A and B are shown apart, each in its own frame.
Chain A
Amino acid sequence: MSTQARGGGSIQAQAGGHEWEIVVGLEVHAELATRTKLFSASPNSFEGDPNTNIDPVCLGLPGTLPVLNVQAVELAIRVCLALNSEVRPSEFARKNYFYPDMPKDYQISQYDKPIGVGGFLELPSGKKVGIVRAHIEEDTGKSTHVGGTGRIDGAEYSLVDYNRAGVPLLEIVSQPDLRSAAEAREYVSELRAVLLAVGASDGKMEEGSLRVDANVSVRRRGERLGTRCEIKNMNSLRSIGRGIEYEAKRQVALLSAGESVSQETRHWNESEGRTLTLRGKEEATDYRYFPEPDLVPLRPSSEWVESIRSALPELPRFRRARLAAAVGRDASSVALFVERNQDTLAIEAVAAGADPAAVLKHLEHNLSEGTGRLTAGAFAELIAMESKGELTSNQVKATLAEMAATGADLKSVLADADYQAVSSSRLSSVLDELVAENPVEWERYREGDSRERKKLQGFFTGKIMRLTKGQADGRAVAELLRKRAQV
């Protein structure tokens, strides 16, 4: 019995000749980018020292009451609309369980009446992944277990930081429509792009503002759904791919050996590269949900929902399609620029005559911190100068940074920087002088083996750079040397 994983994540059991299919549904928790917490006025920020962004309400002190943050509701509605979900009248409920990082020992969440129901997310591949629901809930604090085993059960003591307690989350639950680890990654990355585009979340997986749990099962093609396991603790796109892949293999191995998969929650261990049992079905907590009596039902008016809909920005897949058409690439290769909100500038720069490849190159490498106040016209003009060899790549980079930061026009930036465009004729005359002054070296450069030539290319390039005060373009110098020596 052996199993193998292939590129797309499809798994085939060699024995028996059955082809296995992975079935994945994802639960994504996105922190909503509100100014304050879901039910209180503390900043929604857990930077800074532990327990500094807290207040009596988010600490659940006796006597305090939650008050719903309207901005969180608006951001949730934006996401629902972007996912084609129906925005419904919703209610909050209490999810009761004891945990030290949860100040009230219950979480205020939405249970049987979530804000968003149904809908779909269209992946770049064109596949539509169904959405079951989206609901608003509060985040917990963070525990640190010190000494001993370093886990909650064997530590010497534990510390709790409540800065994150009460931060608003939107949990988005997909249908089990995903059929491979790669597809799951594609879903998360597209959902992230949507969250960013509508301004609902910063989507930073590494900082935990986007957290993904996966329900994974396998089945032989055409058969009914297998028993699923929930995989937690996958903290990057890469670990989502690896975790799902591993879990599917594990289940296929069990089933192929005639054993069964037991329904449980499993923990992805990134360093060991495997999933481990966290708790079984029988250990599942009874959360004793009941309607939250401290809050009133949430009934967004249709006027409000419509005004949010009409202000909704264009979604990433449409933006990618427009940019792709403008620069002559395929949509999947331009996702980065849409994610960075560089697509409008790119399209305008290309329309102003700039070379699309150069536009994308600068956006990707030289403007990764943002395009600031850079205008499309100046961007296009600069690219034209660069292509004529009038500016070195370092000068272009510095000019872009300056224009992005200040919004100054191209001429004044170039004038202020006193860039001497090192023309090819000036380069040529500089080289003439050098050849005359260093005939031996020039000869060794022309006649030497490749090692020798490389060494002397460095010698000449260094001298040229010194004579041109570093303004010469490295590539142009290399080209000139090669031509002159005819090597």
Chain B
Amino acid sequence: MRQGALTLARHVRSGEMSAVEVVEESLAQIKAKDGRISAFNAVLGERSRRRAAEIDRQVALGEDPGPLAGIPVALKDNICASGVPTTCSSRILEGWLPPYDATVVTRLQAAGAVIIGKTNMDEFAMGSSTEASATGPTRNPCDLSRVPGGSSGGSAAAVAAGMTPLALGSDTGGSIRQPAALCGVVGAKPTYGRVSRYGLVAFASSLDQIGPIAADVADAALALEVIASHDPMDSTSIPDPCESLLAAVERDVGGMRVGLITDLLGEGIDHDVTERVEAAARALEESGAEVQEVSVPSISYGLSAYYLIAPAEASSNLARYDGVRYGLRVKGENTEKMNVATRTAGFGDEVKRRIMLGTFALSVGYYDAYYKKAQKVRTLVIRDFEAAYRSCDVLLAPTSPSVAFAFGERIDDPMSMYYSDVCTIPSSLAGHPAISVPFGTGAGGLPVGVQILAPPLREADMFAAAAALERA
């Protein structure tokens, strides 16, 4: 797309441009590029065109279709839209059509957005490369031999390739931020509870959060403003209203206290990445922010805690895919055998691995040693963050320990794949907001993302700092 969502929506609202033109361009881009990139699981051509025409009619009648008038938005394929296949890039959901809209879909459409398609992902959002997809991997538009990151790799690649100005992803341990970093786009994970999870197919319920992926910080702010809301359908939804994020994007960061997380620099983080984070710190300083080093010591346990909590919740959330009610069913001579055959055929290796890990972690005799202990680590991480935020307004860290890696490099080594999330997991465990902003390039000219972390409900500060980096 030649222009961002903010500009396009303004044109559509003023009648300077039609929604049909905007949608046609998006569809043309997809047609031209997605054969190589494979970002989309489904493209909703007919539906988008119909919807765009409706928006144009609204404009013609003098009505305002809303802040996302005519803007194509791609949904990660774990977000439900009524009547549109939702697969989670898994065989097990083959043929399932949700009979309802996710709350974010309702809000997007009420703001004039057009759902352009469903994007590829690691199966059930379990992965960091989009290689663990039943439909095959998505390629990184910056280098087709490399992964786009994951699990929202399809959404990040779709935006990076200019196939859609906006996409939604879901972030459980970094699944919005890490692919955004690897593809050179902006990805934001809001405070847990800021955006309704109703209609997001659950991976790990206490961590999952929907957020925007966009080409720039302002577009991400615009999209988040639209989808952030209290939702009575989600008991974990936050009642507090969200501050204006578009206003925050314009804000000066003079005097803002920025903490550089020392625990996420140096060992385990590629040199080129560290260099860009340090450059980001200098850039913020030049913009008038006060940068200091801080330590969040317990985040070194974050990865282990995460890989107990998330699989534990997943083992329960994914139990329902049993062949009884919807999706794939592989016949068996009795119910139990049908359940087993269906799940054996329907789930990929990574999903099975995590279901087994999680089942084990919750078992009698192991619960206290694993699940409960991991929850204690979570409390420690929150306390350490609270301590850091006594002297800082936002924190700065890498998004990913490395730039985009090559296909096959980590897929057979789960531990190295899991390590991809080391920088993003702490905010997930704490339920805090964090955003990844492209900040130059590293090895091979590939994009590097830096992460701004903020205390709960302080998305405005986070966007202000992110925008300052973008301007630098």
Contact = CB atoms under 8 A, between A and B. Distances in A.
Interface of A: 56, 59-68, 94, 96, 98, 100, 103-106, 152-154, 158, 160, 286, 288-290, 293-296
Contacts of B443: none
A104 B233 CA distance: 17
What 3 A-B pairs have minimum CB-CB distances, sorted nearest first?
A: A105-B319, A288-B362, A293-B205
B5 to A, nearest CB: 25
A148 to B, nearest CB: 10
B191 to A, nearest CB: 15
A341 B338 CA distance: 51
Contacts of A286: 363-364
A231 B159 CA distance: 60
B96 interface: yes
Contacts of A104: 319-320
A296 to B, nearest CB: 5
A59 B325 contact: yes
Interface residues of B, number: 45
Interface string B90-111: 0001001011101000000000
Given A104-B320, A160-B324, A63 B362 contact: no
Contacts of A294: 202, 205, 235-236
Contact of B86 (A62, A64, A65, A103): A62
Contacts of B204: 293
Contacts of B86: 62-63
A94 B204 CA distance: 14
By CB atoms of chain B within 10 A, which of A62, A152, A153, A158 has the most?
A62
A152 B339 CA distance: 13
B335 interface: yes
Given A56-B99, A290-B316, A290-B362, A63 B200 contact: yes
A90 to B, nearest CB: 14
Contacts of A154: 334
A63 B102 contact: yes
A98 B322 contact: yes
Nearest to B92: A62
28 contacts: A56-B98, A56-B99, A61-B326, A62-B96, A62-B98, A62-B320, A63-B79, A63-B80, A63-B86, A64-B100, A64-B198, A64-B199, A65-B197, A65-B234, A98-B319, A100-B324, A103-B320, A104-B319, A105-B319, A105-B320, A160-B324, A286-B364, A288-B364, A290-B312, A293-B204, A293-B236, A293-B313, A295-B236
Contact of A288 (B234, B236, B339, B359): B359
Contacts of A59: 325
B377 interface: no
Given A105-B320, A288-B359, 13 more contacts: A56-B100, A62-B80, A63-B78, A63-B198, A64-B198, A96-B362, A98-B322, A152-B335, A288-B315, A288-B316, A290-B316, A293-B236, A294-B235
Contacts of A293: 204-206, 236, 313
Contacts of B100: 56, 61, 63-64
A110 to B, nearest CB: 15
Contact of B233 (A67, A103, A105): A67
A49 B202 CA distance: 31
B201 interface: yes
B405 interface: no
A60 B200 CA distance: 13
Contacts of A63: 78-80, 86, 98, 100, 102, 198-202
B336 interface: yes
B158 to A, nearest CB: 21
Nearest to A153: B334
A296 B320 contact: no
Contacts of B202: 62-63, 294
Contacts of B79: 63
A68 B80 contact: no
Interface string B183-222: 0000000000000011111101110000000000000000
B98 A61 contact: yes
B118 to A, nearest CB: 13
Contact of A98 (B80, B199, B336): B336
Contact of B235 (A65, A105, A106, A290): A65
**Which residue among A60, A64, A94, A160 has the maximum number of chain B CB atoms within 10 Å of its CB?**
A64
B235 A295 contact: yes
B371 interface: yes
| Most chain A CB inside 10 Å of its own CB: which residue of B233, B234, B315, B320 | B320
B322 A105 contact: yes
Contacts of B322: 98, 100, 105
A296 B99 contact: no
A67 B235 contact: yes
B367 interface: yes
Nearest to B324: A100
A154 B337 CA distance: 12
A20 B326 CA distance: 53
A96 B319 contact: yes
B62 interface: no
B235 A98 contact: no
Contacts of B315: 96, 288
Given A56-B100, A290-B367, A106 B335 contact: no
Interface string B287-331: 000000000000000000000000011011001101011100000
Contacts of A106: 316, 319
Contacts of B102: 63
Contacts of B254: none
Contact of B236 (A61, A98, A296): A296
A60 B316 contact: no
B2 to A, nearest CB: 34
A464 to B, nearest CB: 69
B232 interface: yes
A294 B233 CA distance: 11
Contacts of A289: 362
A64 B86 CA distance: 13
Contacts of A65: 197-198, 233-235
Contacts of B326: 61
Contacts of B197: 65
Interface string B226-269: 00000011111000000000000000000000000000000000
A436 B363 CA distance: 95
A298 to B, nearest CB: 10
Contacts of A160: 324
A384 B255 CA distance: 93
Contacts of B316: 94, 96, 106, 288, 290
Contacts of B339: 98
Contacts of B335: 100, 152-153, 158
Interface in B357-384: 359, 362-364, 367, 371
Contacts of B199: 63-64
Contacts of A158: 335
Nearest to A60: B320
A294 B202 CA distance: 10
Nearest to A39: B235
A65 B362 CA distance: 21
